[in-house]
Structure 1
Amino acid sequence: MKRLRLNTILLAGVSVVAFSGSALAQDADTAPEAQETAEQAIVVTGSRTISNGNNSPTPVTVIATDTLKDLRPTSLTESVQVLPVFSGSRSQTSNPSATGGVGGGNGVAAQLNLRNIGANRNLVLMDGRRVPPTSISNIVDADVIPQLLIERVDTVTGGVSAVYGSDAVTGVVNFITNKNFTGVKAYIQGGMSEYGDAGQMSAGVAAGSDLFGGRGHLTLSYEYRDDEGVDRRSARPWFNRPVVVGSGTVAAPYRLITNATLANLPFGGRITCTGVCPVNGQYFASDGVLSAFVPGTTYAGTPNTQVGGAGGYVDLTLKAEQRMHQMYGRFDFELGENINFFLVGSANYKRNSFYTDEVQLQNITMSRTNAFLAPSYQAQIPTATFTFNRMFAQPERANAVPESRQLMATLGLNGKVGSFDWNFAYTRGSSRLETLLRNNVNNQKLSAALDVVTNAGGQPVCYAATQAATAAAYASCVPLNLFGPTSASAAAIDYILDDTPYVAQTNQDDVIADISGSPFDNWAGPVTVALSGEWRKQTFESSSAASPVMYADCTNLRFNCTARNVTTGAGTFLYRQTFPASPQIKQSVWEVAAEANVPLLRDTAFFKSLDLNGAVRYTSYDTVGDYWTWKIGADWHLNDDLRFRGTISRDIRAPTLNDLYAPTSVVIVNNQDLLTGATNQVPSVNVPNPNLTAEIGKTWTVGGVYKPSFIPGLSLAVDYYSIKIDGAITTVQGFQANIQNGCNLNGVSLYCDLIVRNAAGTVTSWLVRPVNLAQIETYGVDFELNYNGRLFGQAFNLRGLAAWQPHIRYIQPSVPTIDQGGVAFGSTGLTSSPSVRLTGIASYAVTDAFKVSAMYRWRNRMKLWGDPTVVWAAGEGTVAPYGQMSLNLSYEFKPSTIGSAEVFLNIQNLFNAIPPAANAPGTSTSPGGFGGFAITDDPIGRFWTAGVRFRF
């Protein structure tokens, strides 16, 4: 039914709104339409003293929402990411995960990331006010923003902590609402991929009207989105399970292989036994029948991962499913001549669904007399037990279903006192995340179901059910037959799998007040100042039915269950996938700030104008102490054609509640121990660090804007930036190769403490901990070229945006510096960072009603990994460049004098460009799982969207 509905929409009409390149602009280069919008706006970006971005010393990129919906008519947050300044942002195709440090309950939340230095190092604002976080890690799921009434998006690409508050190390993304919208607008659209999947349907309506004789104004909007996603990576013919094998040494260099399988985990299961054992290494190619294993091609360093052969693999979600309801309302009322009241409320109800894992049964112990094993095979096994491995793909994959309820309400007043504008607002944000882990393996039940004996009646039963002390507890135990690809009964599968809920609540209260204006004029013009203060408090708490402190009861469970050791804490976890429960934890902060803009020169030789801008802020956290931040900037107009600007700033980012107090969480991982060469499934344990302090950033920018008067409509902006962050909060993972080497080769205790071994020297767990360890350095150049003119009497626009960011260095003591610049994959959630990112746009109005536009996005060749010490096989270690074209067509008509309509067709990835195969070291244990392509590339393929928009 869903696809029928989508096809109906697609056939309803075709055309696309032409891309209005004049609406995408960078501050002083803002084209006429966007510039007019920016100048009319009350809310400012980049400064609290300057009325718009045109004279801000900090680079500001402005993009109108009407432009965004034509660029990518999916979600606003996806559309914003066409700007090259964004890199490393996460979305529905970003290797979906739920558990672990990156997932945080919903790893497919819309996370905006400026320059790929971390989504929690830039601020997300709405109308200049901080949007409450939607998770313990201080990340904002930007889908909480009401999209239908957003007028434009301003992106500040520089450190502005002194202006907007802590955490604005790399900049600010400010969503500006249309507060004066009058009338009604609506849309309905549907889309589908070239492969007949990934269907999308969305619709929305917004209305605005003056009330009480013009003293009040009310705006309301509602949007619905339904995205089927793509629930298997194999749904794309180009996806051939690429992984990286080897150990990164001269003897076993890294190399990218495709068609990868796991030799030790065939779908029917494989026997390993010792002594004279004829069935050793054989596997169940069919139910109950052993066959000689068919090996593939293997490489040194990862002998269990092969090309081809009879091994198993996983097939996880390519794009998460999403269903969303989004509501917004704003009421303004003029209380008096110089005072206004406003109330704003928004709500977002979103449900995602994605598959996170197949059940991998590794090195489990089986009894030779297992009732499901044929007697002829039992007789060939010389020991009482044997080892069994199987990719247990017969049950449905582990399925994470995060459902979020995000509520945000603001109550405020604003007005004037003389020549000063003042604002006061209180914002309450409440985010509730309920993540249901479906098909979560209960390890205690699994252990019981695998130990199968024959009862007096000759029927297979669970051993624990035959023992007096545990018969009642395991009365419902259903024996599990693993000997074959489809050998397990539905009842046995149902017995070992549970659905485990996790519920997290994040709240934030935020009170902010500011006043700005011009107290006096100096020799060059009005001096403007702004004073502001803010107090906010954030709390978090969670509950979990599958906590990592829950252990299996191993009474009468003879195999595959280790009772918890009260001294070491080691033991078998009750569930394979866990979420930590947390009591309420909290953090509060207050800040005061001042900003001034001082004109120094006007209309003199070489100085049409010269302004100096400065800001200072004092921030006090009840958790990590007190900090000062500041910013100094200058804006120099040489003449009407040429302008120069520059800033230098000191910025901070405080550790999040997750960094400081997150409860211990556990994820089972497969990683190689470089000391012993062994690869085993062991827990990766995420632990907090309450001793963290804020990280300190220093940013400086310098640039220029050129608008030649002899070529009307042409402008060029170039800005250089440099960002250095000291004491950067870095999540250090004990299993990472550089950390292991820092311990094994250099004996650094900080790193060795992250590798937990038993008396025999075997790794029993890896620790993952945030520390103030690194220094992060990056620099680059942003370009924007714009031409707005006419061709054959019709509007013609060209625009090019580019970002060059050659290095993102993570400098840590006693280990090699990791450089993520121009790298496709990284640890701890770091994603693709092309060093060259381009977006080019051409738009032409063929007639007043019919418009055509095209957009081309390109990134350069990237390295697969940023560690300079690892060795790659000759010709390996990079991923080819990638680009894609989008086309937009639209036709507007006015069926009556009271409104207009527009039908459109949008084609993303017009030529169905295939992303080149790519992956990261460490992926050899899960072919068909993580990665397979760089996050910046398009894995969905050619995508058609058609619909109609109305305005009354």
Structure 2
Amino acid sequence: MSVLSHSVSVTALAGALLLASPALAQVAAPGDSDAAAQRSTAIAGEPIETPASTGDVVVTGSRIQRPNVASAAPITSVTAQDIRAQAPLNVEEVLNRLPQIAPDSQQNYQDSDGRQRIKLRSLGFERTLVLIDGKRLGTQNGQDTGIIPPSLLERVDVLTGGASSVYGSDAVAGVVNFILRPSFDGIRIDGNYSFYNHQNRDGTASQVARASGLASPRGLVNDGGRSDITLTAGKKLFDDKLSLMGFVNYRQANFVPYSARSTSACEVQQLSKDGPLSCATTSYAPGGFVRPGNVSDPASQPEFINNPDGSRTFVPYGQGTSNAFDRRGYPLQRDMERVNAGGFATLTLAPELELYGSAIWFEDTSYNRYPTRVLSSSSYGNQPFQVNCNNPFLSASQASALCGAAAGTTALAPLDVRYRFDNLPYTLDEYVNRGLRATAGVRGKVGTAWTYDVGGVYARNTQDVSYGDIPDFARVNNALNVVNVNGTPTCASGAAGCIPFDAFSAGNDGAVLNYLLAGNPATTRGVGTLWDVTANVTGDLGEYGITSPFADDGVAIALGAEYRKDSYRATANERFRQLNAGQDFDASQDVWESNIEVQAPLIQDKPFAHLLQANGGFRVSKYSTNPDTFTTWKAEGLWAPVRDLTLRASFNKAQRAPTVVEIRQARNISFGQQGGQRGDFCAPTRNADGTFNPPAASIDVCRATGLSDALYGSPTLICPDNSCTIRSGGFTADPETAYTQTYGFVARPSFVPGLTFSVDYYRIKIDNSLGYNDDNYYLDGCLRSGGDPFFCSGIVRDANGTLFASAANNPTSGFIRAGTTNYYRSLARGWDFQAQYTLDAGNAGRFDWGFTGSLTTLAGGQDSPIQPERNCAGYYGNGCGQLIPKWSHGLRTTWSSPDRVFNASLNWRHVGPLTNANNSGDAAIGGTPDRVQQTYYRVDAQDYFDLALTFNVNRQFALRVIANNLLDRVAPFVPNSYNISLARNNTIPQRYDSLGRQIAIGATVTF
């Protein structure tokens, strides 16, 4: 295996000397036919063939279909050959390489639920509308782009800018439209196999791990095998009037643990500014953690672990013992298995009447892994475990530490026990995602002026989660109450099957676990359903003489009506509710909409006006969950003074209605208490000797919360157990409104044939942003702002000034607010750049270059009217969770042989640097002088190179050899990575290749 590994590495590296691949984006020149639809050359990476006619041009961002369509908003297209050149397992891997999209990596971090969602401009998946062939993928709460096999894609269009007037709610950040292959005649097999080929080297993480007694791998590894195979069959019958196509797709990925990479040998933390690095620690020690006393008062109790030498003595926790949390069994790549199947049919009875329908189904299973443990008693509530003080497993010194004077008696002593079974397999949380999407409709032409399409979408996504079985609280208590019966430790309760739990020595063999487990895993199910019926009519009014006197083409119009019903149902078993509380719910929302869209060429083929065109759109929406009616609109303009240059501008008012889950979170009232530091900052803090310290907030801030000056600093304000009441819900969530603007130009200079490039500036402002804000949002905001009413209004005091109330009384005061609601403003600004150049070099072949880049100048928002704008572009930390570098780009170069039998494609991915917000110099994101860091505050720019070699052996067979991250670039080291990227593997896997070089072999065979 090592010889093979070495050969693969050398071969991949040698390939870097070759040239490389297809354009990332298709930039259509305004006034010309859509570039992607008009391509007639052989598609690289598949058998040479002439693509079948696609019929009407599919245009993202407009319902109007006409042959000379031009987009006034920037659209980036990823074509079929670009997709094949990456050997992706999921469509999210394709989109991750576009700078306009916030990358995601559901296969590469522990806490993923397996669903793949798209976030344009890092504004959240709820603000990105996802379509398949111009129709909605599914409901926002449940949709999963994993339903789409990459091998079926003809292209992906990404429109960055508001499009609610065309498509309805959710298109605030833009639209991603997956265009599937329209038809196929024959049998086709597409397959890819890939694996990771990585050289482990010593680095910061491995050094820290070894200092904590954890091993770190060295040398070359080959792992993470992934398979993807699709069988497609199609047939055209009755003189091509009936087209049938079906497919079956299977995808699979192997588990890769943290322990397979030196970069994740342990979870590295830096607990203080410029402090030392260390592995994350845990009280779930393999030798067993014990703390005497009640759960409600842990701070005053000593903490112990069992002495690893087996002497049945306690050792102070964290002193002279290794308490590093060994997460090396966590996944760098989750094991996953997915099956897709589907079919498509069209029946053309006449030009005026075509019936169509499709159905796609999928199911995938993936896992989260956790060390097998006996959980802390605090995981079940406020009651401690109990141990009898004459337990035979307790030595005299241990019994004295736990029971004091009661040692050796039958008395029960409260304690907390935590135990990790390193000798047992990890516990698995299983995520099963299923989806079904079906479409049906009728479309056609009426005369020469009109087309119509009346159809609908039914989509249903189900997620079943089964959390790994954990020990039952009552059984742990039974197993801790042990007596000596004829020299044999025996459960005092006599409960059936009870096995005594020796929690007081290291190296427990785990046999007791079978009893401790409840045998009833916690399970929950979420079901999202969409019914969407649309009726659209488009017309060319030029047929009736409605044409500008200075233009050749007439005014085009689109009229539409839509009914949509979104539903989401969540259920859970009793075990889940015991551990997580909450309630089952079934929520839905009905939407009625109508819209109009107009394209009006004003001047064509005149001096200084090759094209001057105005576009407009308007939509009216009514939601069953809101008494108001809402409107959206767009106004666009195109001016090409000469054929070579087109200026364009687009103005949109877009809206996003709250999803049904957000509506429930806003409306449903629940009360609870949060532990930790949720005390009243206007109350004094109590010292151990009973004296008090002054409040954390000033009297002016407390006055802004409605507190009288007389009560400032009063001990009566102290919340019980320092846990004030939190009220979640009871609010109205209105649709958020986005105003999006884009200005740019498209140039196709005639003196440089084959070159097209565009530059666009975008500006997005979202008012009344929808989001979930916990109690800290209001507490910290009120305190930091010095009494801003926007934040302080979330602190609702009782008549006596307190913030603790009885939930049973459903109080209207005496709580801190939390939940989904409208807050102030989200903002995004920047520049997009695209270019494409084709050079036919005759006998030297053909060169294609495709470039797309994005410069983000603002990513953030404004928390309140008097707060400064937060700009997180290029920063992370302090609430800057978007992880958006200021600049990123992709440049793909392809060389094709003169006979098009061979091509080589090299892609350069550049990700700009990221800096900790502490070092930003911007106080709005915490960049104050006292927070400036000297160590580990910056992630340098990263460059990745991907090579794809394609051999079009003949019209029936194509072979691909691909190396992604060709140079095996190691992901940058980022301590405290969980706080930044929800990953514990010391990097940001959404942004950077965390597994190293990937080698792929793919083939396409057509019969």
Instruction: Decide: shared fold, TM above 0.5.
Output: yes
2:308 corresponds, among 265, 279, 285, to 285
Equivalent residues in 2 for 1:867-946, closer than 5 Å: 868-869=925-926, 871-894=931-954, 899-919=955-975, 923=979, 929=984, 932-946=987-1001
Please give the per-residue CA displacement for 1:124-151, whole angstroms capped at 9, x wherever unaligned.
1111111112xxx525211122443321
- Per the TM alignment, residue 540 of structure 1 is displaced from its structure 2 partner at its CA by 1.9
SS in 2 for 1:78: helix
Aligned-pair CA distance for 1:55? 1.4
Work out the CA distance in 2 between the residues paired with 1:844 and 1:35.
22
Q: Describe the superposition over 1:746-799 as per-residue Cα deviations: whole angstroms up to 9, x where unpaired.
A: 49455547999879xxxxx99852120130011000111222113452011122
Q: Distance in 1 between matches of 2:671 and 2:888?
A: 36
Q: CA deviation at 1:492?
A: 2.9
Q: Deviations over 1:61-113 (max 9, x none)?
A: 1221232121243223321321111114352224424xxxxxxxx2x311111
Determine the structure 1 residue equivalent to 2:891: 840
Alignment-derived partner of residue 325 in structure 2: 312
User: Aligned partner of 2:501: which letter?
Assistant: L
- Specify every segment of 5 or more residues in structure 2 that has no aligned partner in the other structure, as ranges: 40-52, 198-220, 379-383, 407-412, 688-720, 806-814, 919-923
Q: CA deviation at 1:838?
A: 1.3
Give the percent of matched residue pairs that are identical in Structure 1 and Structure 2: 22
1:854 aligns to 2:906 (yes or no) = yes
CA distance in 2, matches of 1:336, 1:691: 50
Q: 1:778 aligns with which of 828, 832, 837?
A: 828
Alignment of 1:373 with 2:424, yes or no, is: no
- Compare the two structures and name the one with the higher helix fraction: 2
> Per the alignment, do residues 396 and 935 of structure 1 end up closer, same or farther by CA in structure 2, a change over 3 Å counting?
same
Contact 1:202 1:226 in 2 (8 A): yes
**C-alpha displacement of 1:920:** 5.0
Q: 1:503 offset after TM fit, Å?
A: 2.1
The answer on whether the counterparts of 2:728 and 2:817 sit within 8 Å (CA) in structure 1 is: yes
1:234/1:933 Cα in 2 relative to 1: closer, same or farther (>3 Å)? farther
Compared CA separation, residues 492 and 91, structure 1 to 2 (3 A): closer
Q: In the aligned structure 2, how far is the partner of 1:757 from the partner of 1:656?
A: 30
Show the counterpart of 1:69.
Answer: 84
User: Which residue identity is paired with 1:613?
Assistant: N
- Other structure's SS at 2:503 match: coil
The alpha-carbon distance between structure 1 residues 416 and 288, as it changes in their structure 2 partners (threshold 3 A), is farther
Q: What's the CA shift string for 1:685-736, capped at 9, x where partnerless?
A: 9955651110010000000112221111122211000000011012113356
What SS does structure 2 have at the residue aligned with 1:522? coil
The structural deviation recorded for 1:543 is 2.0
Which residue of structure 2 lines up, in the alignment, with residue 198 of structure 1?
224
Give the corresponding residue for 2:625.
623
**Structure 2 match to 1:172:** 175
SS of the residue aligned with 1:66?
A: helix
CA distance in 2: counterparts of 1:337 and 1:280, whole angstroms: 80
- Read off the aligned partner of 1:268 and give its amino acid letter: G
1:344 to 358, 379, 393: 358
2:127 corresponds to 1:121: yes
1:499 aligns with 2:521: yes
Q: Which residue of 2 aligns with 1:804?
A: 855
In structure 2, relative to structure 1, the CA distance for the partners of 1:374 and 1:343 (3 Å cut) is same
Shift of 1:184: 2.1
Where does 1:98-247 land on structure 2 (aligned, <5 Å)? 106=113, 108-133=114-139, 138=141, 140-194=143-197, 195-230=221-256, 232-246=257-271
| SS of structure 2 residue aligned to 1:446 | helix
Corresponding residue to 2:839 among 760, 764, 789 = 789
**1:591–1:868 distance in 2 versus 1, CA, 3 Å:** same
Moved more, 641-650 or 485-494: 485-494
1:34-82 deviation line (CA, Å, top 9, x unaligned): 3515985532212112537951111111221232121243223321321
Say yes or no: does 1:607 pair with 2:624. Answer: no
Distance, in Å, in 1 between the alignment partners of 2:533 and 2:662 is 24
**One-letter amino acid of the counterpart of residue 868, structure 1:** I
Specify whether residues 126 and 850 from structure 1 end up closer, same or farther in structure 2 by C-alpha distance, changes over 3 A only: same
1:702 partner SS: strand
Structure richer in strand, relative to its length = 1
Question: What's the TM-score once normalised by structure 1's chain length?
Answer: 0.82
* Pairing 1:437–2:467 present: yes
Query: Whole-Å Cα distance in 1 between the matches of residues 55 and 22 of structure 2?
Result: 20
Distance 1:606 1:434, change over 3 A: same
The partner residue of 2:452 within 414, 417, 422 is 422
Structure 1 residues 858 and 358, CA gap change in structure 2 (3 angstroms)? farther
Instruction: Measure, in 1, the Cα distance between the counterparts of 2:723 and 2:281.
Output: 18
Offset, 1:269 = 3.1
CA distance in 2, matches of 1:408, 1:483: 55
Match of 1:542 among 551, 570, 574: 570
Aligned CA distance change for structure 1 residues 272 and 73 (closer, same or farther; 3 Å): closer
Confirm or deny: 8 A CA contact 2:589 2:625 kept in the other structure. yes
Residues 684-699 of structure 1: pairs in structure 2 closer than 5 A: 687=728, 691-699=732-740
Give yes or no for the alignment of 1:24 onto 2:12. no
**Secondary structure of 1:905 counterpart:** strand
Task: Tell me if structure 2 keeps the 8 A contact 1:24–1:64.
Answer: yes
Partners of 1:687 and 1:767 within 8 A in 2:
yes
- After TM superposition, give the deviation of residue 290 of structure 1 in Å: 3.7
Alignment of 1:324 with 2:349, yes or no, is no
Which one-letter code corresponds to 1:610 in the other structure? L
Q: Deviations over 1:603-634 (max 9, x none)?
A: 33322111000000001000023210000000
Structure 2 partner of 1:564: none
CA spacing shift, 1:879–1:584, aligned 2, 3 Å: same
Deviations along 1:535-593, whole A, 9 cap, x unmatched? 01122223212566x4xxxxxxxxxxxxxxxxxxxxxxx33xx3855232211101100
Count, aligned residues: 870
Report the more deviating stretch, 386-395 or 199-208: 386-395
**Which aligned pairs between 1:647-796 and structure 2 lie closer than 5 A?**
647-661=650-664, 687=728, 691-735=732-776, 739=780, 742=783, 746=787, 748-749=791-792, 751-752=794-795, 769-791=819-841, 793-796=844-847
* Inter-CA distance 355–282: structure 2 relative to 1 (3 Å threshold): closer
Give the whole-Å Cα distance in 1 for the aligned partners of 2:67 and 2:916. 41
Q: Aligned partner of 2:259: which letter?
A: S
Alignment-mate amino acid for residue 239 of structure 2: G
The SS at the match of 2:146 is helix
Structure 1 partner of 2:368: 354
Please tell me whether Structure 1 or Structure 2 has the larger radius of gyration of its CA atoms.
Answer: 2
Corresponding residue number in structure 2 for 1:57: 72
Please report how far the alpha carbon of residue 429 of structure 1 lies from its aligned counterpart in structure 2 after TM superposition.
Answer: 1.2
Letter in 2 for 1:374: S
Change (3 A) 1:767 1:243: farther
Deviation, structure 1 residue 358: 6.2
Distance 1:816 1:390 in 2: 46
SS for the counterpart of 1:423 is strand
Within 2, Cα distance between the matches of 1:327 and 1:668?
Answer: 47
Partner of 1:863: 915
**Structure 1 residue 272, shift from structure 2 partner:** 4.9
Q: 1:846 to 1:441 in 2, by over 3 A?
A: farther
The root-mean-square deviation of aligned C-alpha atoms, in Å, is 4.1
Are the equivalent residues in 1 in contact too, given 2:143–2:528 (CA < 8 A)?
Answer: no
Check whether the contact 1:77–1:110 (CA below 8 A) recurs between aligned residues. Answer: yes
Secondary structure at 1:45 match in 2: coil
Deviation at 1:402, TM superposition (A): 1.4
Deviation at residue 883 of structure 1 after TM alignment: 2.4
3-state DSSP class of the match of 1:911? coil
SS of equivalent to 2:597: strand
Tell me the SS of whatever aligns to 1:637: strand
Q: Distance in 2 between matches of 1:608 and 1:333?
A: 40
